[in-house]
Amino acid sequence: MAISVFIEARELLELFQWIDKDKLEVYTEKNKEKISDEMADMAIYLLEMFRVLDIDMLEAIDNKIQKKAVKYPVEKSKGNNKNDSGL
């Protein structure tokens, strides 16, 4: 399933690969259904992984947010776009 998440992420990235920044808004509006389909594919595989691995998704997300808050406190991180967390 992790491979499938990666494949779907790659398919999502391919939709944006050659799009100029200045054309991004128009492009995303015109291709919203394709983009939505790829995002949905990723979500389906991720949700299935959470189910199969018996991991509470909301708990996992909450735990990750808490870890990031400790690692990157707002007072030290605000305005800094560097991130070594792997995200």
Q: Decide if 82 is inside a domain.
A: no
Distance between CA atoms of residues 63 and 48, nearest Å: 19
CB 77 within 8 Å of CB 40? no
Q: Decide if 66 is inside a domain.
A: yes
Range of the domain at 61: 2-77
Which CATH number belongs to the domain containing residue 66 in this structure? 1.10.287.1080
Sequence-ordered list of residues with C-beta below 8 angstroms from that of 42, at least 6 positions apart, any chain: 5, 8, 9, 12
Distance between CA atoms of residues 10 and 7, nearest Å: 5
Q: Decide if 86 is inside a domain.
A: no
Dihedral sign from CA coordinates of 36, 38, 40, 46:
negative
pLDDT tens, N- to C-terminus, the chain (87 residues): 999 999 999 999 999 999 999 999 999 999 999 999 999 999 999 999 999 999 999 999 999 999 999 998 888 777 776 655 555
The pTM for the full model equals 0.73
The label of the residue with tokens 């983009």 reads 35
Q: Decide if 36 is inside a domain.
A: yes
What's the structural domain count of the chain? 1
